[in-house]
Amino acid sequence: MPTKTFAGKTVEVDNEGFLIHHTDWSEEMAPEIAKEEGIQLTEAHWKVLRFIRKDFQETGQIPTIRRIKNAGGIPTNELYELFPQGPAKKSAKIAGFGKPQGCV
């Protein structure tokens, strides 16, 4: 299994760089993961990431774009601006989760 080091912690990742164990994630890792995706985190990004983590704790599932929009109150167009070329995939990765089902 490949590994990467983020914020001084070595973690297992899959072939696309998604964390294998979401419990390995910390907020200190997020900026480094985001940088690999060409994203510099802003407070708007953090709002999405924290919603994803909280929603997962409550439901046991990574929220869909629709759920982030409806339950998180973040418009779809804003998600695409924050996480271009695949907001579900990129936001899940930066939030420390595996690739969402249905993402290619």
Domain coordinates in residue numbering, the chain: 3-94
Among 7, 41, 71, 103, the active-site one is 103
Residue 92 contacts residue 99 (beta carbons within 8 Å): yes
Strands (E), 1-104: 3-6, 9-12
User: Known catalytic residue: 11?
Assistant: no
Residue 13: strand pairing partners: 19
| Residues whose CB falls within 8 Å of the CB of residue 37, separated by 6 or more in sequence, listed in order | 83, 90, 93, 94
Residue 12 contacts residue 21 (beta carbons within 8 Å): yes
Instruction: Look at residue 92 in the predicted model and tell me its pLDDT.
Output: 97
Read off the pTM: 0.93
**Tens digits of per-residue pLDDT, 61-78?**
999 999 999 999 999 999
Instruction: Look at residue 103 in the predicted model and tell me its pLDDT.
Output: 58
Instruction: Look at residue 101 in the predicted model and tell me its pLDDT.
Output: 72
Under-50 pLDDT residues of the chain: 104
b/e map 52-86, b = 16+ CB within 10 Å: bbebbeeeeebbebeebbeebebeeeebeebbeeb
Residue 93 contacts residue 17 (beta carbons within 8 Å): yes
Instruction: Look at residue 102 in the predicted model and tell me its pLDDT.
Output: 61
